[in-house]
């Protein structure tokens, strides 16, 4: 049931819209980002108000419980819909899985844009939306166009740096939007990240993010291939990772997200927690589709990108349990392929 206007107005009074920041989407990244944003803002301005919203009520409740246990005096409210979040807060950050969720949260009934349309132009102009989701560039541009037509400001601000960067507050934000929206968003992004790069107009942050993840998606597979081959050649994982990371093959996929346990003695990548946490394989597959779809529409060839996309799809199809695990778990799939090959060879010899 949709909340009445009276309920929404009561919410606005309680949360004092101009002092309030809302965060929608408290998943692996969002929960860490919201924690940094709220805790740093609260330390600077103790009468700030905070609002959270997630499709899974338990995610919002556990975030609230955790935050208030660390900051008992803080004002933190859970709302049920994005519309309520906008009525409660002048600044709203969204961190959602992809395009369908962004469309739903922004444009559908009970969403952000219908709420903005109920404000006068002055109140709308003070509203800032920051969407950190990695999604389709065209969808993001359409949503941003609707937000601007409703009188508010918006930036696309996808991130790089993973869950570890979100937790440490060291993310890189790749921002697309007008100069004015970028300047408006920068102080808030600085609570959650270290590098804030204005990439260009609306959609430019996403373009940069999609190209970056195209590189990452390919690299994570080839690091898995090299780490598996090296062990078959008798190399210890830590020795091999040490060589790659101090040589020309070094990259984030090998030096931070290495897929082989104990290969990085001073780090604790997702492979050491059964590939839990981190960046889900299903989200990497989504990003590879974002890259190959936009490349098709621009006639930009991606021979490696397409092969990597098909490989992630095969991993999830053959081993659905890996869909939610960190994408470095493609290594586990490579191991199984190797075992199947060995059985096949042994069978042929019998």
Active site residues: 209
Check residue 84 for interaction with ligand NAD (CB under 6 A).
Answer: no
Check residue 28 for interaction with ligand NAD (CB under 6 A).
Answer: yes
Which of the ranges 27-35, 122-130, 227-235, 308-316 carries the binding residues for ligand NAD, by CB under 6 A?
27-35
Of 2 and 343, nearer to ligand NAD (C-beta) is 2
Check residue 86 for interaction with ligand NAD (CB under 6 A).
Answer: no
Two structure tokens written together for 149 = 């037509």
Binding string to ligand NAD for residues 143 to 172, with x set by CB under 6 A, is what?
Answer: ----------------x--xx---------
Of 240 and 290, nearer to ligand NAD (C-beta) is 290
* C-alpha distance from residue 191 to each of 32, 41, 168 (Å): 11, 8, 11
Near ligand NAD by CB under 6 A: residue from 86, 174, 271, 283: 283
Of 101 and 186, nearer to ligand NAD (C-beta) is 101
Which of the ranges 55-63, 85-93, 306-314, 336-344 carries the binding residues for ligand NAD, by CB under 6 A?
55-63
Two structure tokens written together for 4 = 């009445």
Near ligand NAD by CB under 6 A: residue from 23, 54, 308, 315: 54
Of 203 and 230, nearer to ligand NAD (C-beta) is 203
Which of the ranges 95-103, 114-122, 144-152, 219-227 carries the binding residues for ligand NAD, by CB under 6 A?
95-103
Question: Which phi and psi angles does 161 have, rounded to 5°?
Answer: 130, -10
Which of the ranges 54-62, 138-146, 149-157, 332-340 carries the binding residues for ligand NAD, by CB under 6 A?
54-62
Which positions touch ligand NAD (CB under 6 A)?
24-30, 53-56, 59, 95-98, 101, 104-105, 133-134, 159, 162-163, 278-279, 283, 287
């Amino acid at each position: 049931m949709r909340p009445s206007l009276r309920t929404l107005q009561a919410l606005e009074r309680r949360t004092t819209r101009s002092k309030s920041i809302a965060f929608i989407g408290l998943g692996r990244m969002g929960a860490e980002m919201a924690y940094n944003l709220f805790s740093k803002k609260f330390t600077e301005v103790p009468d700030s108000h905070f609002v959270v919203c997630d499709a899974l009520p338990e995610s919002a409740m556990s975030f609230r419980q955790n935050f208030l246990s660390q900051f008992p005096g803080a004002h933190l409210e859970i709302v049920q819909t994005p519309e309520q979040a906008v009525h409660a807060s002048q600044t709203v950050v969204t961190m959602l899985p992809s395009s369908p969720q962004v469309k739903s949260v922004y444009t559908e009934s009970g969403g952000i844009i219908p709420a903005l349309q109920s404000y006068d132009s002055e109140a709308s102009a003070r509203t800032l939306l920051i969407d950190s989701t990695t999604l389709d560039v065209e969808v993001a541009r359409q949503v941003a166009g609707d937000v601007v037509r409703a009188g508010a400001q918006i930036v696309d601000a996808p991130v790089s740096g993973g869950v570890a960067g979100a937790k440490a507050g060291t993310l890189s934000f790749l921002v697309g939007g007008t100069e004015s929206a970028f300047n408006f968003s920068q102080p808030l992004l600085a609570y959650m990240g270290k590098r804030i790069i204005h990439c260009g107009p609306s959609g430019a942050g996403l373009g940069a993010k999609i190209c970056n993840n195209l590189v990452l998606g390919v690299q994570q597979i080839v690091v898995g291939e090299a780490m598996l081959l090296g062990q078959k050649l008798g190399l210890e994982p830590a020795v091999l990772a040490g060589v790659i990371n101090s040589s020309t093959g070094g990259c984030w996929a090998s030096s931070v997200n290495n897929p082989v346990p104990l290969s990085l003695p001073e780090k604790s990548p997702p492979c050491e927690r059964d590939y839990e946490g981190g960046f889900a394989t299903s989200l990497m597959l989504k990003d590879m589709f974002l890259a190959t779809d936009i490349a098709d529409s621009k006639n930009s060839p991606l021979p490696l990108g397409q092969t990597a996309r098909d490989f992630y799809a095969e991993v999830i199809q053959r081993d659905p349990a890996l869909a939610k695990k960190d994408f470095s778990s493609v290594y586990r799939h490579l191991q199984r392929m190797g075992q199947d090959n060995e059985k096949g060879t042994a069978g042929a010899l019998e």
